[in-house]
């Protein structure tokens, strides 16, 4: 199964645990193929630098290295422009198309708001866990 995680899922999984950590561990156990791109890595790193997380550069770099090690980094050839409220979220949709992913796993309200207008299923972490645990 091929998947894309948005930055919210990654932040929650790496920093706070819970269900997002479960799906990251599922990837680490080679049960899922996680895709990334230069753009999604850059976006994840940008969010990790938010003051509210109080992370040192070394901690950010370690998280990014881990994410890169568990994901398949591919080039995004075509960018889509479906999400208008936060255009930085479109990169996750573009990555899902490029990687031919089965699902986008998201905790972002802008991404979740287009789930009925996008051909790849967009699920919350809880919805996705229900699927992988069947």
Token pair of 5, please?
A: 């995680």
Exposure of 10 in the CB half-sphere (CA atoms within 13 A) = 28
Residue 18's domain comprises 2-133
The CA-atom distances, in angstroms, between 116 and each of 18, 53, 65, 71 are 27, 32, 33, 26
* Distance separating alpha carbons of residues 26 and 23, to the nearest angstrom: 5
* Distance separating alpha carbons of residues 92 and 7, to the nearest angstrom: 9
Token pair of 28, please?
A: 């680490």
What is the pLDDT at residue 88?
87
Closest alpha carbon to 126 in 110, 105, 111? 105
* Distance separating alpha carbons of residues 80 and 19, to the nearest angstrom: 29
Count Cβ atoms below 10 Å from residue 5 Cβ, excluding itself.
Answer: 31
Along the 134 residues of the chain, how does pLDDT read in single tens digits? 999 999 999 999 999 999 999 999 999 998 899 999 999 999 999 999 999 999 999 999 999 999 999 999 999 998 898 888 878 889 999 999 999 999 999 999 999 999 999 999 999 999 999 998 87
Into how many domains does the chain fold? 1
Torsions phi, psi for 11 (to 5 deg): -60, -50
CATH number for the domain spanning 89: value is 3.40.50.1010
| pTM: predicted TM-score of the whole model, two decimal places | 0.93
């Amino acid at each position: 199964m091929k998947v894309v995680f948005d930055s919210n899922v990654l932040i929650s999984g790496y920093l706070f645990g819970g269900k997002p950590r479960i799906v990251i561990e599922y990837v680490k156990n080679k049960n899922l193929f996680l895709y990334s791109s230069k753009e999604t890595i850059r976006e994840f790193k940008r969010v990790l630098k938010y003051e509210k997380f109080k992370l040192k550069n070394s901690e950010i770099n370690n998280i990014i290295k881990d994410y890169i090690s568990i994901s398949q980094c591919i080039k995004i050839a075509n960018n889509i422009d479906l999400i208008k409220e936060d255009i930085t979220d479109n990169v996750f949709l573009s990555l899902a198309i490029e990687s031919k992913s089965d699902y986008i796993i998201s905790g972002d309200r802008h991404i979740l708001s287009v789930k009925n207008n996008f051909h790849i299923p967009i699920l919350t972490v809880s919805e996705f866990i229900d699927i992988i645990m069947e």
